[in-house]
A and B are shown apart, each in its own frame.
Chain A
Amino acid sequence: MNKNKHLLLWSSLGALCLLVGAAVQENFLKEWRGIQASIQTDAGPADVRLRQIVAPKLGVTDRCVTCHVGMAPGEQEGSGHPLAAAHGPVGHDPAEFGCTVCHGGQGRATEKADAHGDVRFWPAPMIPTRYAYAGCGSCHTHIRVPGQSELERGRSLLERYDCLACHRVDGRGGTLRPGGVGGMEGPDLSQAGARGFDTRWHEKHLQFAGQPDKAGWQDAFTDIDTAERDSIEAFLTSRVGAPRLVDAKARFHSLGCRGCHKIGGIGGDDGPDLSRVGQRDPGQLDFTHVRGEHTLANWLSEHTRDPARVVSGSKMPKFGLSDDDVDLLTYYMLSLRRSDLPEAYWPKDRIQASRFGQREFSTDGATLFGTFCAACHGDAGQGRRFPGSPPMPAVGNADFLAAARDGFLESTIWLGRPGRRMPAFGEDAGGLRREEVQAIIAHLRREAGVKEPDRLHPLPRWASGDPDRGRSLYDRHCAGCHGARGEGTDAPALNHPLLQATASDDYFVETIRRGRRGTPMEGFGQPSTIHPVLALGDIESIVAYLRTWEKRQ
C-alpha cells in the first residue's frame, strides 16, 4: 500500500505544480499584461484588461489593441511604452473597421507572433509596414490610374506651373509665401482623388488672378491649355493619399502585365489570374528556390525578378527589371486583395469598377498600350524577343502601320492568335471595349506618325499569281524564319487561320514589298545585299501561295 500512497502523493504534487505553473503563466506571464501595466495615461495607469474591436458585419474580432493600447477605441494616448502611441491620422475609424481588414494578421490572437501571422497555418499574415498601403486593396480599386508616363507628365506639370507654391501634394510644397507670409494658401491636394475636386478649378483660378485685390495672384497663375489640364486632372484624380501605391499601380500598368494576367476579369489569359494574388497563403507557396524570408512579399519580388528560378518551367519571361521596379510591382500585387466584405462596406471606387464598368486604369491610348501590350511588344512597340519563344512583332513599326489597316489591327487585338501567345482581348475574352482597342491603335499611329493607309485595291483578295512559283520563292526567301509551312518558328505564323481570315492581300503585298525596317524582315521591293528585288508579280505569287494554306484549313 505504501507504494500506492507514494504514487498518489507524488503524482498529486506534480499535478499541482503544473496547475500552479499554468495559472501563473496565464495570469502573470502574458506579454500583453506587461505592456499594459507599463502604460501611463493622463488619468493614471492604464487598466490591465483584454481590449478588442468587434465588428460582426465585417467578421472582425480584433484584439490587436490589447497590445497596441493607444489605438483602442476610446483610449487615450499614453506613455511609458512604444505601443501606447495612437494610430496615425487615417480616413477610416479603427473602431468601426478594426485592424485586420486593412493590415491583415490574426485579429483573434493575443500573442505577438500569432497576431502578426508569423506562424504556420495562418494564411493571411500582416502586410509588411513598408507596403502598408497595399491593405487599401482589400476594399478599394483606385480607378482611372494613368500609366507611368501620363502620371509623370501630370506630376511635372504641377511642378512646372508652380502649383506647389500654394498647394501641398504628398507632403511636398505649400511652403513658399508671397511676401514671406507663413501658412498655406491653397488646400492640400494629397487626397484630391478620393475627396473630389472642383472641375471648374481652372476658371476659378483665372478669375482670382484677374482680381486686383488678390495679392500675389496676378503673376502666380497663368492659363493652362486643355491637354495639360487633362494631364493635371488625371494626376489629381490619382491622389488618394497612397502615393507609393499609385506609383506602383502606374508602373504595373506601364509594363504590360495585363497582357498575360487577368485582374478583375480584364487582361490576357496566358498567365495566372492576379485578382487576389495579394491574399495568397505563404504557407502554400514553394520557397525552395527563393532567397530570403518566407513571406508573400519576398516570394512575389523574387518571382518577378526571375520567374523561372522560383517556379520551374514558368513561361513568364525574365524582364530584367530594376530593383525599384520589382519593389513597385510587389507593392501593387500585394494590394490585389479584394476581400469578400459585405457590399454595404464597399467604397465608391470598387462599386464603380465592379458594378458600373468603370476602369481601374486610364483609358487613354498610351496607358492602354502600357497596360496590355508593352510587356511583349515593347514599351514603344519596337517588338521583343524572349528565349524559347518566337519574337513578338514590332507593332509600333512605321512600315507595319503603313501596311496594316485599322480594321485588321482591331480584329487582331480583338481575336488574338489562338495557339500563339497573343491572347484575345475582345470584350468576352480579355475584356477590352471597341473604343479602347481603337484608342490603342490611334496611340500606335500617333507615336509612329503613320496614318491609316489607303486601299491599293477595292477587293481584299486580288493578288493573282502562280502558287507554285510562289512556293519556290517562299522556300528560298521566307521559310527560314516563317517556317516551311508558315508555322512561324522564328517570325509571325503566316498559316494562322485568323491571320489568313483578317489580313488583306494589300497587307501581305505591302509587307513583303516594304519589309519592316529595324526588324529582320527585309523589304523585297528594294535592292538588298542578301536577296534580289522581287517584281510585283513575284510578290503576288508568294501571296497566292500563302493563300493556299487557308484553303487547306
Chain B
Amino acid sequence: MSTTAPENSPLRRFLHNLLQSPWHVRDAALRSGLPTTDRTRSNFVFGNVFLHLHSVRTHRWSLRWSTTWGLGLAATAAFLIALVSGVLLMFYYKPYPEAAYDSIKDIHFVVPTGRFIRNIHRWSANVMVVAVLLHMARAFYTAAYRKPREFNWLIGMGLLVVTLGLSFTGYLLPWDQLAYWAITIGANIAQSPREVTDAVGITETFDPGGLQRELLLGSDIVGEEALIRFYVLHVMLLPLALVSLLAVHFWRIRKDGGMTRPSDADQRLAPKADVYPVFTEAPQKTYQLAAIVKGASPAVGRGPENTVPSMPHLFYAELGVLMLTVLVCLALSMISDAPLKELANPSVPENPAKAPWYFLGLQELVAYSAFMGGVGIPMIVVIGLGLIPFLDREEAETGAWFGGPGGLRLVARSAVFGLASVLGIEAFAIRFGWLREWFPEIPQLVITAVNPGTLLAAIYAAYSLWIVRRYGSARAGALALFTCFLCGFVVLTVIGTHFRGPNWTFYWSPADWPRH
C-alpha cells in the first residue's frame, strides 16, 4: 500500500487533472463559477461579451409587457431567424441568372425541408419589417426618443433603412418574374431624379438618377451584374451593417438608462416581495467611480432600487419573445409558401409589376410623380422622422403611451384626419384623374410639385403646425404628424397592394382585372 499522497504522485495527479478537466474548462469559461446566486449571475452577465450588452439589473417597469410589447426583441428575433435560415439557403443558392432560379427549384423540391426553410426565411423577413415599423411606432408613442435617447432614435432609423434594404435586395435573388419586375420597378424609382433633370434639361451633364440606377444594377438592365450586386449586399454588406448598428442600438439602450419609464413608475409599480435594495447586500462592486462621474450618465445619483437581476428575469422575457417569434414564423411558413413565379423573362413584362409590399405606398405615389414618390417624399419622411427628437424637447409624460398634450384623443382625431385626407385625395385622383389628364400639355415640373403625394404631405404638415399652435406643444404636433404619416402609409400601401391592377388602374378586386 502506497503511502504517497495523490499530489505527490505525478501519475495520479495527471489522472486527477484529466478527470477534472471538463469542470475546469467550464470554470475557465464562466470566470465566476456557475450562475446560481444573484451575485454570480450578475458576474456572469457582466463577464460575458454578449450578455454584457444588457445591464446587470433590469427595472421592473421594463419587464411589463405593455412597456414595449417586445417589438424590438421580436424584430431582433426575426433577424436571427432570417440569419440562420438564410445561411442554410446559402449552401444551395447559386447567384447567377437561371442557375439561381433552378437552385430555388431544387431548394423547393429536393433539399430536405428546403421549401420550409425558404418559407421561414421569407416570413421572418416580413415579420421583421412589420416588427421594426411597429417598434418605431411604439418608441414614438411612448416618447422614448427624448433625451438622452435621441441618438438611439437615429440609429433606429438607420436600422429601418437597412432592414428595408435587406428585404429589397433579397427580393431579386429567386430570379423569377416577380423578382425581376419588382427590381426593375425599384431601379426605375432609383432613376426618378431624371424626372427633374429632364424637365430642367440638364440630364446630359448632370444625371444623378441614371447614376443611382447604374450603381444599383451595375448595368443598363436587371441582369447578372445586378444579381451579384444584390447578392453581395444581401448576404454580406447589409447584414454586417445591421449587426453593427444593432450592437450600437443595444449598447445605447443600456448606456441611456434602459427602457424609458414614466417618472412615477416606481410609485405605480406594486411592491414586490423578492425585490430588495441591492445596497443592503453589501456589494463587492463599488459605485465610487460612478459616484464621481459628472454629467448625463443616467445611473449617476440613483440606486438600483426596484430593479431585478437581468438574469433570469429579463432573459426569460427575451427568450419568450424569441420563441414566440419563431413560433409565428414557423406557423406562417406551414400555412403559406413563399412565391416563385416563372423564370425571369425580360421580354414578358409583368402587368402590373409591383415592388415589395412595403414599397407599394411609394409606388402608388410614383404613379403620379416618380421623383416625388421615389425620392422627394421618402426624403421628407426620413428627415421629418429624424428631426422629431430635436424639435420635441419637452419632458412631460415621457414613457407613457400616447403621452403628451392631447394624448390618445389627439391621436384618434389625427387618425381620422389622416385617413380622411389620404382617402379623399386618392378617391379624387382615382375618380377624376390628375393634372396630366386635364391639361395634357402641362410641364412635368408642375406635376412634380403638385401631385397627390406632395399635396398630402402639405396637408399633413399644415395640420400638424396648426396642432402645434393650438396645443402650444411640439409633442402634440409630432403626435399629429406621426399618426397622419402612419395612416397615409397604411392606406397607400393597401391601395397599392390590393386595388391596383394592370397599368396601375384602380380595381375593386383582382378578380376584375382584364386578362391581357
A322 within 8 A of B: no
A535 within 8 A of B: no
Bound-state CA distance A285–B342 (Å) is 15
Bound-state CA distance A4–B105 (Å) is 40
| B110 and A286 contact, CB distance less than 8 A | no
Q: What chain B residues lie within 8 Å of A123 (beta carbons)?
A: 342-343
Q: What chain A residues lie within 8 Å of B316 (beta carbons)?
A: 1, 4-5, 7-8
Q: What chain A residues lie within 8 Å of B317 (beta carbons)?
A: 4, 7
B393 within 8 A of A: no
B64 to chain A, nearest CB (A): 10
Q: What chain B residues lie within 8 Å of A18 (beta carbons)?
A: 327, 330-331, 334
On whether A15 and B320 interact (CB within 8 A), knowing A109-B109, A111-B109, A114-B109, the answer reads no
On whether A108 and B102 interact (CB within 8 A), knowing A18-B331, A63-B110, the answer reads yes
| In the complex, residue of chain A having the shortest beta-carbon distance to the beta carbon of B339 | A121
| A23 and B113 contact, CB distance less than 8 A | yes
Q: What chain B residues lie within 8 Å of A19 (beta carbons)?
A: 330
| A15 and B330 contact, CB distance less than 8 A | yes
A47 within 8 A of B: no
Within 8 A of B (CB), among A100-147: 106, 108-111, 114, 121-123
Closest 4 pairs (CB-CB, A-B): A7-B320, A11-B323, A8-B320, A4-B316
| A1 and B109 contact, CB distance less than 8 A | no
| A12 and B312 contact, CB distance less than 8 A | no
Within 8 A of B (CB), among A50-84: 50, 61, 63
| B102 and A22 contact, CB distance less than 8 A | no
A287 within 8 A of B: yes
Q: What chain B residues lie within 8 Å of A271 (beta carbons)?
A: none
| A110 and B323 contact, CB distance less than 8 A | no
Bound-state CA distance A514–B140 (Å) is 95
A199 within 8 A of B: no
**A1-27 vs B, Cβ < 8 Å mask (1 yes, 0 no):** 101110110011011001101110011
On whether A26 and B116 interact (CB within 8 A), knowing A1-B316, A4-B317, A121-B341, the answer reads yes
B490 to chain A, nearest CB (A): 28
| A108 and B109 contact, CB distance less than 8 A | yes
A528 within 8 A of B: no
On whether A22 and B334 interact (CB within 8 A), knowing A1-B312, A3-B65, A286-B515, the answer reads yes
A398 to chain B, nearest CB (A): 47
Pairs across A and B, CB under 8 Å, 19 listed: A4-B317, A7-B316, A7-B323, A12-B323, A14-B327, A14-B331, A15-B323, A15-B326, A15-B330, A18-B327, A18-B331, A26-B113, A63-B109, A108-B106, A108-B108, A108-B109, A114-B109, A121-B340, A121-B342
A155 to chain B, nearest CB (A): 42
B336 to chain A, nearest CB (A): 14
Which A residues form the contact surface with B (CB < 8 A)? Answer: 1, 3-5, 7-8, 11-12, 14-15, 18-19, 21-23, 26-27, 50, 61, 63, 106, 108-111, 114, 121-123, 281, 283-288
Bound-state CA distance A184–B280 (Å) is 111
Given contacts A1-B63, A4-B320, 16 further A-B contacts (CB under 8 A): A1-B316, A7-B320, A7-B321, A11-B327, A22-B116, A22-B330, A23-B113, A27-B112, A108-B105, A108-B106, A109-B109, A110-B109, A121-B341, A284-B348, A284-B516, A287-B515
Bound-state CA distance A283–B341 (Å) is 11
Bound-state CA distance A8–B326 (Å) is 11
B44 to chain A, nearest CB (A): 18
| B102 and A61 contact, CB distance less than 8 A | yes
| In the complex, residue of chain B having the shortest beta-carbon distance to the beta carbon of A50 | B110
Q: What chain B residues lie within 8 Å of A1 (beta carbons)?
A: 63, 308, 312-313, 316
Q: What chain B residues lie within 8 Å of A63 (beta carbons)?
A: 109-110
Q: What chain B residues lie within 8 Å of A27 (beta carbons)?
A: 112
User: In the complex, how many residues of chain B place their beta carbon closer than 8 angstroms to a beta carbon of chain A?
Assistant: 35
| A109 and B105 contact, CB distance less than 8 A | yes
Bound-state CA distance A11–B73 (Å) is 15
Of A63, A106, A123, chain B has the most CB atoms within 10 Å of the CB of A123
B183 to chain A, nearest CB (A): 18
| In the complex, residue of chain B having the shortest beta-carbon distance to the beta carbon of A5 | B316
| B327 and A15 contact, CB distance less than 8 A | yes
**B304-319 vs A, Cβ < 8 Å mask (1 yes, 0 no):** 0000100011001101
Bound-state CA distance A270–B398 (Å) is 75
| In the complex, residue of chain A having the shortest beta-carbon distance to the beta carbon of B70 | A7
A110 to chain B, nearest CB (A): 4
Bound-state CA distance A232–B326 (Å) is 73
B328 to chain A, nearest CB (A): 9
Q: What chain B residues lie within 8 Å of A7 (beta carbons)?
A: 316-317, 320-321, 323-324
Q: What chain B residues lie within 8 Å of A11 (beta carbons)?
A: 320, 323-324, 326-327
B403 to chain A, nearest CB (A): 24
B280 to chain A, nearest CB (A): 22
Q: What chain A residues lie within 8 Å of B105 (beta carbons)?
A: 106, 108-109
Within 8 A of A (CB), among B93-131: 102, 105-106, 108-110, 112-113, 116
Q: What chain A residues lie within 8 Å of B321 (beta carbons)?
A: 7
Of B312, B316, B343, chain A has the most CB atoms within 10 Å of the CB of B316
Bound-state CA distance A12–B322 (Å) is 9
Q: What chain B residues lie within 8 Å of A285 (beta carbons)?
A: 516
B399 to chain A, nearest CB (A): 21
Q: What chain A residues lie within 8 Å of B308 (beta carbons)?
A: 1
B155 to chain A, nearest CB (A): 26
Bound-state CA distance A263–B494 (Å) is 46
| In the complex, residue of chain A having the shortest beta-carbon distance to the beta carbon of B345 | A123
B187 to chain A, nearest CB (A): 23
| A22 and B327 contact, CB distance less than 8 A | no
| In the complex, residue of chain A having the shortest beta-carbon distance to the beta carbon of B326 | A15
Q: What chain A residues lie within 8 Å of B331 (beta carbons)?
A: 14, 18
**B482-516 vs A, Cβ < 8 Å mask (1 yes, 0 no):** 00000000000000000000000000000000011
| B334 and A4 contact, CB distance less than 8 A | no
A91 to chain B, nearest CB (A): 28
B124 to chain A, nearest CB (A): 13
Q: What chain B residues lie within 8 Å of A288 (beta carbons)?
A: 515
Bound-state CA distance A341–B342 (Å) is 20
A302 to chain B, nearest CB (A): 15
Q: What chain B residues lie within 8 Å of A4 (beta carbons)?
A: 63, 313, 316-317, 320
Bound-state CA distance A281–B350 (Å) is 14
Bound-state CA distance A106–B216 (Å) is 33
A4 to chain B, nearest CB (A): 4
Bound-state CA distance A19–B112 (Å) is 13
Bound-state CA distance A5–B348 (Å) is 53
Of A3, A11, A61, A283, chain B has the most CB atoms within 10 Å of the CB of A11
Q: What chain A residues lie within 8 Å of B110 (beta carbons)?
A: 50, 63, 108, 110
Q: What chain A residues lie within 8 Å of B340 (beta carbons)?
A: 121
Q: What chain A residues lie within 8 Å of B343 (beta carbons)?
A: 123
Bound-state CA distance A257–B459 (Å) is 63
Bound-state CA distance A50–B317 (Å) is 44
On whether A281 and B319 interact (CB within 8 A), knowing A21-B334, A111-B109, the answer reads no
Bound-state CA distance A288–B317 (Å) is 55
Q: What chain A residues lie within 8 Å of B327 (beta carbons)?
A: 11, 14-15, 18
Q: What chain B residues lie within 8 Å of A23 (beta carbons)?
A: 113
Tell me which of B112, B334, B341, B515 contacts A26 (CB under 8 A). Answer: B112
A6 to chain B, nearest CB (A): 8
Q: What chain B residues lie within 8 Å of A109 (beta carbons)?
A: 105, 108-109
B92 to chain A, nearest CB (A): 12
Bound-state CA distance A287–B515 (Å) is 8
Q: What chain B residues lie within 8 Å of A283 (beta carbons)?
A: 342
| In the complex, residue of chain B having the shortest beta-carbon distance to the beta carbon of A61 | B102
B235 to chain A, nearest CB (A): 23
| A281 and B342 contact, CB distance less than 8 A | yes
Bound-state CA distance A110–B112 (Å) is 12
Bound-state CA distance A287–B331 (Å) is 35
| In the complex, residue of chain A having the shortest beta-carbon distance to the beta carbon of B330 | A18
A291 to chain B, nearest CB (A): 15
Q: What chain A residues lie within 8 Å of B334 (beta carbons)?
A: 18, 21-22
Bound-state CA distance A281–B113 (Å) is 29
On whether A122 and B109 interact (CB within 8 A), knowing A4-B316, A7-B324, A18-B334, the answer reads no
